[in-house]
Structure 1
């Protein structure tokens, strides 16, 4: 199971009910792949470091078991946004030089490419330790307060625009934080669950923010990757892969 999980850069939580009512059960599945719909994957052994939810009443652990397709579930407690985060354990990945360079190019990791070239490593395999920072926002009782709360992921995508007030003629803003601080110059992708999928991308500014003009509402997926030199003997790079799923609803134009 490790190989498809490792090779798929996008890794995201899909809630069965992204907008729901009070005291309702929400079940999550995992998807991996380059784009929607991705491939559903079970919760493999030792995948999850922590899996928790946060609402107006505080934080709690999301229930779930290894080797199941329903990777986690909880019952909603408070009106507004329940923010859910999954932090995975680190895994090791080695790619050929061509595969690694293509991966760096696709994810906009130009500084890593420059560093490899500067030290004559452009033709060397890529040895990488990576972990995932998957996040989803559940909107309860037709309310969205708390949608911009942090859940504590080391690499975290945070909407700065109300998910229930999408305007297709105005920008939807997302901020990327690394260890709680804005992360600039990072490629952030936006994808809509549609047929065919809609894909957009932008690079974060000095405040870690990007602005997307999203053409329609629906279940949107946002992704980003951050990579730094590794201090471990078995790898050259350490990376974090962040994702966010949130159901956006268009605000009526008055």
Structure 2
């Protein structure tokens, strides 16, 4: 019996819907209810899909992820729950310090409804080269197939919030080199973008900035240097989503008709007031 067949009808619909939505919407991110909590207070966070840092929250569904962890220093704990739980993360932190939430989705598939949609996506994510390459490979414009996976992280401060993010072994990830809750941010927020453990040089990084009281974020584009590093402008009291996308060729003959693979890295945090 399939996983969907074991769920209540309403929850089965949620699983199917959450699987389909990322094809139409763009970003996927972890959205803490509170970015800073007192020691001993449970950490709570939603999983969101949407555009402009605005999107619907989705429940804890084990079939939709391959990794969901809460990491604090060397302590790594799996995020546990029951299918359908909201928020998706609701658990106690191991203790005082900076907590990093990590979530990796399963692989999803999408078929672009028309060539113009593929063009728009590749232009937005600074991968325009893929348009010409698609045609060079003799592939049709009528049915562009893509496989995609999301690699999300979020920073939550517990108590003193002391500590640091680190490389978590994700296929692609954004590593915060600045602790937003304890460090001086007057010169910006530093991150490094990685792919398979190596720095991603000269690639686009999109920063969504959500001001207090706003429902949507304002997007600005930035680029990494030759070490995959970039300093992002931030303001006190604002919430941030950092996003970067890897785009790889796939052989449709061996990859179930998928011609492309996209790997999405995201990182969320908030700058205290």
Aligned residue for 1:241? 264
The partner residue of 2:127 within 85, 109, 129 is 109
d(CA) in 1 for partners of 2:247 and 2:32?
28
* 2:123 pairs with 1:100: no
Q: Which runs of 5+ in 2 are unaligned?
A: 1-16
d(CA) in 1 for partners of 2:109 and 2:236?
38
Aligned residue for 1:174? 191
> RMSD across aligned C-alpha pairs, in angstroms?
2.1
The partner residue of 2:239 within 216, 219, 222 is 219
Indicate the structure whose relative CO is greater, using CA pairs within 8 Å and at least 6 residues apart.
1
Change (3 A) 1:137 1:167: closer
d(CA) in 2 for partners of 1:27 and 1:121?
45
Aligned residue for 1:140? 158
* 2:250 pairs with 1:230: yes
TM-score by length of 1: 0.89
* 2:147 pairs with 1:129: yes
Encode CA deviations 1:115-146: one digit per residue, 9 max, x unaligned.
22544658343210111111111111122312
SS in structure 1 at match of 2:21: helix
Aligned residue for 1:199? 219
Cα contact 2:25–2:49 (8 A) shared by 1: yes
Cα contact 1:129–1:235 (8 A) shared by 2: yes
The partner residue of 1:83 within 87, 91, 100 is 100
Greater mean deviation of Cα atoms: 190-199 or 238-247:
190-199
Change (3 A) 1:111 1:91: same
Q: Which has more helix, going by share of residues? A: 2
SS in structure 1 at match of 2:133: helix
Change (3 A) 1:9 1:22: same
Aligned residue for 1:5? 22
* 2:86 pairs with 1:69: yes
The partner residue of 1:58 within 75, 79, 96 is 75
Cα contact 1:31–1:38 (8 A) shared by 2: yes
TM-score by length of 2: 0.83
Cα contact 2:235–2:271 (8 A) shared by 1: no
Encode CA deviations 1:202-222: one digit per residue, 9 max, x unaligned.
122211112222244422111
SS in structure 1 at match of 2:22: helix
d(CA) in 2 for partners of 1:57 and 1:223?
25
